[in-house]
Chains A and B, each alone.
Chain A
Amino acid sequence: MFNLRPSPVDLFTAAKRAIADWNPHDASDLARAEVMLAGRAAAVALREVRFLQRANEQTALDIRSFYGETGGALNESTSAALWARLANDIGAGRFDTEPERLALYALLTAAARRWLQIANPRYARQRASRPDTTAAPNS
């Protein structure tokens, strides 16, 4: 969710270009699919422009709080650097014991939920209302 590529502005520009290139007289499936794709991309990009910064700031606060609770020293100053530090520490297995693992999971889930609500709010609603049918066997 930090440093998205393409950026929200680039995504919006690409969507705008696709809409400008659209020939409304072309009734083919391909043309219809392309203009619908452009509409979806524009909607995602606009939500990102509007909400992503706030979501990232909240996630950065959560990460600082998490490291505060787990006793990790933080020298990172930017949100993106905090996100990178977290990725490195997870990869190194730094949070494999309780209660850090549970706290980490809560942090990641909150960040993922924020991003999902921006990227695909319909999916987020569907996901909240439907039971999870894929469960680990014997769990």
Chain B
Amino acid sequence: MRDDLEAQDRIAEFLASVAAATSVEISAFEPLRGGSVQQNYRLDTRFADGPFAGAQNLVLRTNSQSKLMESRSRSEEFHIQRLVFDAGVRVPEPLWLCDDRAVIGDTFYIMRKISGSAWGPEIVTNCANNNCGEEVGEMLGAELARIHAISHGLPGTEFLGAPDARPLHDRLSNLQVAMSALPSPQPILEWGLHWLQKAMPDHQEVVLAHRDFRTGNYMLDGIELTGLLDWEFSGWSDPHEDIGWFCARCWRFGNFDLEAGGIANRDAFYRGYERESGRKIDPRSTFWCEVLAHLRWAVIAIEQGERHASGVESSLDLALTSRRAAEVGWELLAMTSPSELPLTEHVSV
């Protein structure tokens, strides 16, 4: 699409119409790194007049050629991003949604471009070099708590539908369905699924969850947290799902000892979260959700490989992601050793 000048002209016309400008000039339009599920394009523009008059650095987000089973539509993602932006969560401001496929051939939305980097390896290195990991971890904990303050019944949440009263059951059922659709049987993942079924936490809450809250999905500019990205999996869930996903070993980018996203100790992240939310993090539910995180990531990795192997979307990145299932499967086994009883068997509730 970056070389399709007619598509760029149509994007410029769309921007002019929604921003009440007489014209919009596009000076840069190129794909952004990352975003292996959806496609993001940097869009440097100049609006001739109207409320956005002047230079505007934007991002266009649209669908990939294929999608994951649990991905939301771009339209839903736009509305979720608007919901959390209005609630004061640090996210790139979503500006306009375009459902007219005549513009670029698919639905897309435009948001403001924010500064910084979201690349996981760079984030963990920068946090270590700048000695700011604890501070960032605490900020992220507080930010997550602001997302979790959005609950069912609040105005503007109707489009998310009614939540399941036991969302972790729902998550596991969905994973089971996803596993049954994988191209080949997976005994290691079946082991993980079976462990999770037997150790399900009794107490579950329902909040709005990001469901991909991890290092790699927030932008850091120096030591400033500039925004949370990638809301395509968001929905109602138990708050521990996000906490477990963030702390899961598979998302520490090699910095295994820093259990909160490879940047901070758990204490700092938990402190920020508990102070902002007034909620106490349950270590048993968090551990269960970390096991869930490994199972889910392994399933997604295999699905990503299938997107390539099926011929729907040729991508070396997707092809290689399938092999991440080896290390994630290893971690799944390491966490569920039978020498440890399922948590519910030796922890009183």
**Which positions in A face B, CB cutoff 8 Å?**
1-7, 10-11, 14-15, 17-18, 29-30, 33-34, 37-38, 40-41, 44, 80, 83-84, 86-88, 90-91, 93, 96, 101-102, 104-105, 108-109, 111-113, 115-116, 118-120, 123-124, 126-127, 130, 132-134, 136-139
- CB pair B194 A91 closer than 8 Å: yes
Q: How many B residues have CB within 8 A of the partner chain?
A: 49
Across-interface contacts of B330 in A (CB, < 8 A): 112-113, 116, 124, 127
- CB pair A109 B333 closer than 8 Å: yes
A83 to B258, CA, bound (A): 36
A80 to B287, CA, bound (A): 32
Query: Using an 8 Å CB-CB cutoff, how does the interface string of B310-345 with A read, 1 for contact, 0 for none?
Result: 000010110110111011011001110110110100
8 Å CB contact of A29 from B33, B284, B305, B338: B33
A139 to B347, CA, bound (A): 9
Give the A-B contact count at a CB cut-off of 8 A. 139
Residue B346, interface by CB 8 Å = yes
**B251-290 residues at the A interface, CB under 8 angstroms:** 254, 256-257, 259, 283-284, 287, 290
Max chain A Cβ within 10 angstroms of own Cβ: one of B183, B287, B324: B287
A136 to B254, CA, bound (A): 20
Residue B185, interface by CB 8 Å = yes
- CB pair B320 A30 closer than 8 Å: no
B199 nearest in chain A by CB position? A136
Residue B223, interface by CB 8 Å = no
- CB pair A137 B343 closer than 8 Å: yes
B314 nearest in chain A by CB position? A14
**Given A109-B333, A137-B283, A5 contacting B306 (CB threshold 8 A):** yes
- CB pair B340 A136 closer than 8 Å: yes
B348 nearest in chain A by CB position? A138
Max chain A Cβ within 10 angstroms of own Cβ: one of B184, B290, B319, B343: B319
Across-interface contacts of A127 in B (CB, < 8 A): 327, 330
- CB pair B188 A108 closer than 8 Å: yes
Can you add 5 more A-B contacts, CB < 8 Å, to A83-B185, A123-B327?
A5-B184, A6-B309, A44-B320, A86-B185, A116-B330
**Given A29-B33, A115-B326, A136-B340, A41 contacting B309 (CB threshold 8 A):** no
